């Protein structure tokens, strides 16, 4: 039997209750049983996973088997980023986070499907087919790291590594009933991770417990000379008493009643467990989504410019092109999907000479105001609690032709990316047989306090 958490797996391995061979064969059997239905993994890495046999039992990630989002490079393995443009691309080197996981005992079992270049909130935008929620195969698993969330929840691995630009770890974690963590911007290296929007992107774990998420984070964090924004930070002592803030701005019109009821019930439970709950104000929250969309699309436009099918990537009928411009049009028009094209066009528009000041600069000013709101709030509380998503998992195809409605799925998560804050989604209940996630947001570089509080909340909500 395959254990669900890393800690449980380690205990069983050390006691001799399972062997490495049984551990791997359990995960591989589950993949063969379920992956055709869910489409969570794009490739299975049996040769990589065999390396677990030589792992020392003293290493922190001993016994940890990972799925890796397919925008994170593993040397010699395919890395498609969910796009036709990179369908045959193989990584020439390991990402820093991959080196750290391998060095600390973790192994890799598969590359996880995802929205193309991490652009999406439902995992329906992959060039290799949509991903399905293990709770209900007609529902989306959230995105863009949907394959990671499904693989962990469905027992294909006991952890996964994804990327979060505007909620792409926390939102699918909430939709699939697992823990998903986005660290403070700059605490984890992005070297070897295919960029979407560079000032937002952050790598983080999916796990079956807060304890596992913390273990993985502590393994992959730290300064990296190959990523200039990374830094080290000192550990902080946990508070003797816990004070959590509830922002009224997150309980917006349009939130599904089932989600609101589950969130309020979860909050009422913690009030009975010696945790002080206070109201906090984040007044600029209403401007967060439009500000995020403008800055994100602008950075997408810049980052996607390299995919022309000439330097690398798939060529689309290039020999028949009569000019370099026609070659670009064929390669980019044939390679990028609808959502990627939509964001590239929007970003190119907002960066153009006539609109740069009117949109991009104003959005950056709003970003600073949102960060300031959080700074003020954290003078009063240790963490902030908020819904991870405004809805339960929705049907596949329901919002794919309605970009505005789709982007609203990230309304509660983008603020943490704008402010560069750590945030974690924890399952806090179910409604209609589907999971609801609570978001726990911490102050910058306060991961230790965030995990301390989150582990207490997890115990309360599991009772």
Known catalytic residues are: 69, 144, 168
Asked if 155 contacts 198 with a C-beta cutoff of 8 angstroms, the reply is no
SS3 letters for 2-34? CCCCHHHHHHHHHHCCCCHHHHHHHHHHHHHHH
Residues near 285 by beta carbon (within 8 Å), at least 6 away in sequence: 247, 249, 250, 370, 373, 415
List, edge to edge, every strand of the sheet that includes 243-247: 41-44, 107-112, 65-69, 159-164, 202-207, 179-182, 423-431, 434-442, 383-387, 243-247, 276-280
Neighbour tally for 261: CB within 10 Å: 13
**Burial of residue 159 (number of CB atoms within 10 Å: 0-12, 13-18, 19+):** buried
């Amino acid at each position: 039997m395959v254990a669900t958490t890393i800690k449980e797996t380690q205990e069983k391995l050390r006691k001799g209750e399972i062997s490495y061979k049984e551990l791997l064969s359990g995960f591989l059997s589950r993949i063969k049983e379920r992956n055709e239905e869910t489409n969570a993994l794009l490739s299975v890495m049996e040769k990589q996973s065999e390396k677990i046999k030589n792992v020392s039992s003293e290493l922190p990630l001993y016994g940890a088997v990972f799925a890796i989002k397919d925008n994170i490079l593993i040397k010699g393995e395919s890395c498609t980023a969910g796009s036709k443009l990179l369908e045959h691309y193989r990584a020439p080197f390991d990402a820093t986070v991959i080196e750290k996981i391998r060095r600390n005992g973790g192994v890799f079992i598969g590359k996880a499907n995802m929205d193309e270049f991490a652009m999406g909130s439902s995992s329906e935008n992959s060039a290799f087919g949509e991903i399905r929620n293990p709770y209900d195969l007609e529902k989306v698993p959230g995105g863009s790291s949907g394959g990671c969330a499904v693989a962990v929840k469905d027992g294909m691995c006991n952890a996964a590594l994804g990327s979060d630009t505007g909620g792409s770890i926390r939102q699918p974690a909430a939709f699939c009933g697992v823990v998903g963590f986005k660290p403070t911007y700059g605490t984890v290296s992005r070297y070897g991770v295919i960029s979407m929007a560079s000032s937002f992107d952050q790598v983080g774990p999916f796990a079956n417990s807060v304890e596992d998420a913390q273990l993985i984070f502590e393994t992959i964090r730290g300064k990296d000379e190959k990523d200039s924004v990374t830094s080290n930070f000192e550990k902080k002592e946990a508070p003797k008493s816990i004070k959590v803030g509830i922002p009224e701005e997150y309980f917006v019109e349009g939130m599904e009643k089932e989600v609101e009821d589950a969130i309020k019930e979860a909050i009422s439970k913690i009030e009975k467990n010696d945790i002080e709950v206070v109201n906090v104000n984040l007044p600029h929250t209403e401007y967060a989504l439009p500000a995020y969309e403008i800055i994100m699309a602008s950075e997408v436009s810049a980052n996607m410019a390299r995919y022309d099918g000439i330097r690398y990537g798939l060529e689309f009928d290039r020999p028949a092109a009569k000019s370099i411009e026609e070659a670009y049009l064929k390669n980019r028009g044939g390679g990028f999907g609808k959502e990627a094209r939509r964001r590239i066009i929007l970003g190119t528009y907002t960066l153009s000479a006539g609109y740069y000041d009117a949109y991009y600069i104003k959005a950056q000013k709003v970003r600073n105001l949102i960060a300031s709101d959080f700074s003020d709030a954290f003078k009063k509380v240790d963490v902030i609690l908020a819904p991870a998503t405004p809805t339960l998992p929705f049907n596949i195809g329901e919002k794919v032709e309605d970009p505005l409605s789709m982007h609203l799925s990230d309304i509660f998560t983008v603020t943490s990316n704008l402010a560069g804050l750590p945030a974690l989604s924890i399952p806090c209940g179910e409604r209609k047989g589907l999971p609801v996630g609570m978001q726990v947001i911490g102050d910058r570089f306060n991961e230790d306090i965030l995990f301390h509080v989150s582990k207490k909340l997890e115990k309360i909500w599991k009772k």
